């Protein structure tokens, strides 16, 4: 009989099973998977979460209502950095530890940004489709070399993108209200306001965290300020971007193209126009997904969950104040 049950809704963890499951089984745990991997809506999540002591989570909604329906749960570990789907305050009130795993996918996402910028600039998808279809013709692109790159959100990923930009002799403009101009300049970037960034950049990449204040921060007025030759990348969170405005911008030529890895609704509906627009390069929320990043994150999420179930304090607790709660659900360690 297992000592504890660990639910997994993050598909990146399941893909690497059984290797990723090894430490869980060694600790006497059972790994549970839903029939369909996350993100799951609350109604679909709850029946599986009720049976779990811990969850390695996709971007499922961990709200007060979900937590109340799952009193057995002790710890939520987000696979990755973003925690906009977790009500951390509600977790604290109910004695549930909330964790994420920051830093392990930084280099993968930064690589992805340059992959899609080069893909759009040189029309790589169009060239591949042409040749595979039996064609052979000139497809003229543009260079990244010496252009201006605007980075929105200058945290770990934004800085990693800026470091790569030096190799392309890109002029880096950065916007991050959480940093001082001196902090931005120290990383070799020029601090600018958001409107100026959109007007001056040849390429723009979005790396802001999703908060109530940042939701919809990239809107029609900003997209209209872009050069018609410029390209936009979103490898952060879908709700940061007004997708309706982006569709119009791509159709009407306010910008040359966009690469979008995250969407307001995921999976992206089959009839969504961003799937069909020729100047849009959509990917399936996979910027983080490299062998190296997945292996490191899988080790980290298991370590966080097992630490809590052993009665310890994890490295990446989002609500460390939960350990002072009398009703904290770790009082009797499970391992």
Please check whether residue 61 is in contact with residue 41, taking contact to mean a CB–CB distance below 8 angstroms: yes
Please check whether residue 297 is in contact with residue 105, taking contact to mean a CB–CB distance below 8 angstroms: yes
Please check whether residue 108 is in contact with residue 296, taking contact to mean a CB–CB distance below 8 angstroms: no
Give yes or no: residues 130 and 73 share one domain.
Answer: no
pLDDT at residue 17 in the model: 87
Strand stretches in the chain, DSSP E:
4-8, 29-32, 54-57, 75-78, 97-99, 148-152, 171-175, 190-191, 203-206, 231-234, 257-260, 280-282
Give yes or no: residues 111 and 258 share one domain.
Answer: yes
Give yes or no: residues 151 and 227 share one domain.
Answer: yes
Give yes or no: residues 127 and 243 share one domain.
Answer: yes
Prediction pTM value: 0.91
Q: Is residue 332 part of a domain?
A: no
Q: Is residue 329 part of a domain?
A: no
Give yes or no: residues 29 and 175 share one domain.
Answer: no
pLDDT at residue 332 in the model: 85
Q: How many residues does the chain have?
A: 335
Give yes or no: residues 253 and 302 share one domain.
Answer: no
pLDDT at residue 1 in the model: 80
pLDDT at residue 331 in the model: 64
Q: Is residue 330 part of a domain?
A: no
At a CB cut-off of 8 Å and minimum separation 6, what does 309 contact?
4, 27, 29, 53, 54, 74, 75, 330, 333, 334, 335
Q: Is the bond preceding residue 60 a cis peptide, omega within 30 degrees?
A: no
CATH number, residue 85? 3.40.50.720
Sheet with 280-282, edge to edge strand ranges: 190-191, 171-175, 148-152, 203-206, 231-234, 257-260, 280-282
Give yes or no: residues 138 and 203 share one domain.
Answer: yes
Give yes or no: residues 182 and 57 share one domain.
Answer: no
Give yes or no: residues 96 and 115 share one domain.
Answer: no
Domain count, the chain: 2
Active-site residue identified among 78, 112, 123, 285: 285
Q: Is residue 164 part of a domain?
A: yes
Range of the domain at 100: 4-104+290-324
Q: Is residue 93 annotated as part of the catalytic site, yes or no?
A: no
Give yes or no: residues 257 and 267 share one domain.
Answer: yes
pLDDT at residue 314 in the model: 96
Give yes or no: residues 67 and 181 share one domain.
Answer: no
Q: Is residue 335 part of a domain?
A: no
Active-site residue identified among 112, 207, 225, 237: 237
Give yes or no: residues 120 and 186 share one domain.
Answer: yes
| Residues of the chain scoring pLDDT < 50 | none
Active-site residue identified among 93, 187, 266, 303: 266
Q: Is residue 334 part of a domain?
A: no
Q: Is residue 237 annotated as part of the catalytic site, yes or no?
A: yes
């Amino acid at each position: 009989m297992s000592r504890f049950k660990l639910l997994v809704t993050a598909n990146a963890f399941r893909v690497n099973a059984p290797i990723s499951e090894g430490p869980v089984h060694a600790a006497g745990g059972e790994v549970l998977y839903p029939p369909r991997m996350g993100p799951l809506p609350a109604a679909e999540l709850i029946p599986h979460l009720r049976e779990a002591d811990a969850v390695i989570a996709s971007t499922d909604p961990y709200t007060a209502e979900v937590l109340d329906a799952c009193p057995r749960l002790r710890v939520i570990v987000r696979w990755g950095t973003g925690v906009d789907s977790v009500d951390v305050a509600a977790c604290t009130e109910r004695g549930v530890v909330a964790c994420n795993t920051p830093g392990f996918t930084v280099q993968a996402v930064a690589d992805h940004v340059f992959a899609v910028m080069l893909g759009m600039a040189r029309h790589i998808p169009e060239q591949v489709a042409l040749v595979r279809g039996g064609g052979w013709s000139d497809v003229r692109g543009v260079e990244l070399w010496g252009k201006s790159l605007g980075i929105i959100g200058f945290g770990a990923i934004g800085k990693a993108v800026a470091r790569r930009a030096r190799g392309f002799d890109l002029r880096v403009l950065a916007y991050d209200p959480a940093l001082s101009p001196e902090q931005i300049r120290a990383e070799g970037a020029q601090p600018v306001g958001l409107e100026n960034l959109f007007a001056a950049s040849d390429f723009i990449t979005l790396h802001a965290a999703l908060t109530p204040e940042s939701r919809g921060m990239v809107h029609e007025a900003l997209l209209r300020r872009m050069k018609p030759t410029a390209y936009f990348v979103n490898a952060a969170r879908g709700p940061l971007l007004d997708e309706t405005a982006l569709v119009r911008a791509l159709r009407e030529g306010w910008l040359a193209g966009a690469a979008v890895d995250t969407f307001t609704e995921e999976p992206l509906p089959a009839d969504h126009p961003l799937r069909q627009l020729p100047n849009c390069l959509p990917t399936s929320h996979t910027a983080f997904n490299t062998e190296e990043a997945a292996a490191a994150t899988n080790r980290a999420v298991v370590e966080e969950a097992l630490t809590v179930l052993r009665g310890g304090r994890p490295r990446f607790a989002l609500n460390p104040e939960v350990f002072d709660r009398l009703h904290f659900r770790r009082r009797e360690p499970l391992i």
